[in-house]
Amino acid sequence: MAKQVRLRRKDIKRPDEFVTLSNQALNWVREHQQLATWGGAALVAVLIAIGIATAYRSARDRDANADLARAMAKLEANDYSRAAAEFIDLSGRWDGTGVAPVAALLGANAAIRGGDADKAIDTLTRLQSKSASLPPYMQQELLLAWAAALETKQQWLDAAGKYKEAAAVAGPYTGEAILGEARTRELGGDADRAHELYRQAYEQFPDLPDRDVVAAKL
């Protein structure tokens, strides 16, 4: 049976703690009304500033995506030169948004396909200075594009070095990077190392689309 607690007259007369604290708070506000008003105004100002900043970022991202879509239309029309120029331009114009590095990579790849490897390398060099903030798969894409640009300039061993860097980054294009290094080392006269890399790609990546071609190299 639960033990009954007997209240003393003194306990009954004791003021309720919540009521006491509430009264203290109200008294403080009355005594410091101007300060309380300033505090409330400051809080409202902070909330308004946060709302404006959020709306600005949303509008900025929306406009950046619209620009990206327009540039994509030129890429889909195989107008590589104009697509590259638009992608590279908007990557600078929307610097600081998530669209900027994507546009820079698309611009570099469009420049390569349009035969302007130097423009691609210049774009990738500027992007690399910010690569620490990119996710690993985009860092790998950056290095692959750079290697491809060097390959189009027939700078075989330089390209092989970039493919090797790309293969060392954790990402979905490791098999492609190893094959790229094998190909460019073979073209650069390093047949033994190329053969090792072809074997590595064949054994580690059974789903490679060029598996039959790789097997012929072995």
pTM, to two decimals: 0.70
Annotate 52-118 with DSSP letters as a single string: HHHHHHHHHHHHHHHHHHHHHHHHHTT-HHHHHHHHHHHHHHTTTSTHHHHHHHHHHHHHHHTT-HH
**The pLDDT of residue 1:** 45
SS3 139: helix
Question: Distance between CA 182 and CA 196 in Å, rounded?
Answer: 8
Residue 7 CA: distances (Å) to CA of 10, 13, 14 = 8, 10, 11
Q: What CATH code would you report for 135-218?
A: 1.25.40.10
Domain range list for the chain: 66-134, 135-218
**The pLDDT of residue 53:** 41
**The pLDDT of residue 42:** 47
pLDDT along the chain (218 residues), means of 10: 46 50 59 55 45 50 72 81 89 83 90 94 92 87 95 95 95 93 95 94 86 81
